[in-house]
Chain A
């Protein structure tokens, strides 16, 4: 046994017409902030619901501290969840909402209101304690939902896209608050999101899922710099992928033949000659001044300007689109024009091959 607090072993969730979660294995450590991330329908929310006992897997096992959980009913699991729509009780006021889990545990009324009052103060809700839920803003509801989930002092907190109902300004603020809460409480946060920025900003580890399967588990940096496969490389956004076939294999490097030419790159484990694979170059590893050893040409087809960083979209001669990410001042000094020919270049050490 390793030190995993929560262990998912070969968990599958099959419906009559599709498989939501496919043979998933995951060990979650005590006290970590772990995110499950993937496109919608990848099985991340189903996985979370299975941990909470709201759905039961069709096969597999779930252990909490080495104890099997699948026979334990939802209400006894002790893994409260923060819901995407908050799922607050509309007919109860803020304080009664927060007291609810204590009431279910049979805590006497006096102790209940004392405990609730602590959380009301901690979450900055003092002046709203007697208000109805409908009178609260999105951010306040979020805090009530958090207080209600944490009032029983659980070991694990489940969060199902909790920030997606908030506007972007509030989302950033709540991220900071969540990280602070996690640090202060020292409990395990399991966070489901489709947002890369949320997952990467807050998590110790990120689990990338697609079509019910785990694609990669790692720290945000590992996933960003060393994606395991083409799906991850594409999903996390700022990567350029060119399909091709392995032409020559050396010790750790290889050459790939693509319809844009032959390129050198780092190889992957188990690569074989002539296997189809994808060449991956991160958008921020591409030079515009021709200083890299690998070269390719194209035309500027668009740009996306988000403050200090600018993303250029380059149309290659086979019609594929390439993304290049640069500092804004760097691009400005080059004086680029739409439709102008441009040479993109990168160094072989920054490019790698992935099985496709």
Chain B
């Protein structure tokens, strides 16, 4: 009796936590399909009108394309840098290695406002301010450390003797990376790519500071909100959420996938 009671309470507790996290998102998704202009219950009926509305808004489309461009560039850049950093960390021992690992971990820990202002000053000085490139570079700085963490995790499962064995069997350093390290890390690399994309796609503050007239989707949402509270925002939010959620879910799925390690 008591055990069942505890079991029940545990489930209830979990449910409350999930509810707490998921309710706001659920509300956005629900109201994005609501016919009525103002959020409220009861629902006045199912409609796709807000989705149609955003598709007819050039600035939203443009910002979405910007977000995807920046996201893909970030994913590519961060994955390459993250992989190289993880490989250096895996293969070499050198003075200052701990310091290097610490430096890589810093960008995500800096408050975005501080990072945004700092990058604004920096990009203005080197003449990159207001360009999509600037946003992508800033996002790469943050996402690289996540990419490195994911790939490092996978590399740790590879006994260092396996790459040495490849060299011993006639592989050059480059062939060792191409034929041993990359095949071993392929899912982690894909996961790092998705996660970096998601980090960039969601990021608002830095994009707002350094983007100038080039708006990414989160920046567009804020600008819309400042003008008026429209259910179109719910529609955009739902789409952004759907994309980010599937990216993160793919990352988790890839990292959990069983792979031969022996």
Of A54, A100, A134, the contact of B164 (CB 8 Å cutoff): A54
In the bound complex, residues from chain A placing their C-beta under 8 Å from that of B262 are 88, 90, 133-134
CA distance in complex: A56, B186 (Å): 32
CA distance in complex: A218, B179 (Å): 42
In the bound complex, residues from chain B placing their C-beta under 8 Å from that of A258 are none
In the bound complex, residues from chain B placing their C-beta under 8 Å from that of A104 are 166, 169-172, 175, 179
Q: Give the contact-size bracket for chain A.
A: 20 to 34
B180, CB-defined interface residue at 8 Å: yes
CB-nearest residue of chain B to A158 = B168
A87, CB-defined interface residue at 8 Å: yes
A80–B168 touching, CB < 8 Å:
yes
In the bound complex, residues from chain B placing their C-beta under 8 Å from that of A272 are none
Kindly supply a per-residue 1/0 record for chain A positions 285-318, scoring 1 wherever the CB is within 8 Å of any chain B CB and 0 otherwise: 0000000000000000000000000000000000
Of A75, A77, A85, the contact of B172 (CB 8 Å cutoff): A75
A74, CB-defined interface residue at 8 Å: yes
In the bound complex, residues from chain A placing their C-beta under 8 Å from that of B159 are 85, 87
B124, CB-defined interface residue at 8 Å: no
The smallest beta-carbon distance between B108 and chain A, in angstroms, is 31
The smallest beta-carbon distance between B262 and chain A, in angstroms, is 4
Kindly supply a per-residue 1/0 record for chain A positions 330-344, scoring 1 wherever the CB is within 8 Å of any chain B CB and 0 otherwise: 000000000000000
A253, CB-defined interface residue at 8 Å: no
11 contacting pairs across A/B (C-beta < 8 A)? A54-B164, A54-B167, A74-B167, A76-B170, A89-B180, A90-B184, A90-B259, A92-B183, A103-B179, A105-B170, A148-B169
CA distance in complex: A78, B259 (Å): 31
Task: Give chain B's interface residues, CB within 8 Å of chain A.
Answer: 159, 161-162, 164-172, 175, 179-180, 183-184, 259-262
A152, CB-defined interface residue at 8 Å: yes
A81, CB-defined interface residue at 8 Å: yes
B168–A100 touching, CB < 8 Å:
no
B161–A87 touching, CB < 8 Å:
yes
CB-nearest residue of chain A to B169 = A101
In the bound complex, residues from chain B placing their C-beta under 8 Å from that of A85 are 159, 161
The smallest beta-carbon distance between B178 and chain A, in angstroms, is 11
CB-nearest residue of chain A to B158 = A90
A83–B161 touching, CB < 8 Å:
yes
Of B165, B167, B260, the contact of A91 (CB 8 Å cutoff): B260
Kindly supply a per-residue 1/0 record for chain A positions 33-56, scoring 1 wherever the CB is within 8 Å of any chain B CB and 0 otherwise: 000000000000000000011100
A206, CB-defined interface residue at 8 Å: no
The smallest beta-carbon distance between A96 and chain B, in angstroms, is 10
In the bound complex, residues from chain A placing their C-beta under 8 Å from that of B180 are 89
A216, CB-defined interface residue at 8 Å: no
In the bound complex, residues from chain B placing their C-beta under 8 Å from that of A148 are 169
A75–B167 touching, CB < 8 Å:
yes
In the bound complex, residues from chain B placing their C-beta under 8 Å from that of A90 are 162, 184, 259-262
A89–B162 touching, CB < 8 Å:
yes
B169–A54 touching, CB < 8 Å:
no
CA distance in complex: A90, B179 (Å): 12
Of A75, A83, A134, the contact of B170 (CB 8 Å cutoff): A75
In the bound complex, residues from chain A placing their C-beta under 8 Å from that of B184 are 90-91
The smallest beta-carbon distance between B112 and chain A, in angstroms, is 39
In the bound complex, residues from chain A placing their C-beta under 8 Å from that of B260 are 90-91, 132-134
Residue from B159, B168, B183 having most chain A Cβ neighbours under 10 A? B168
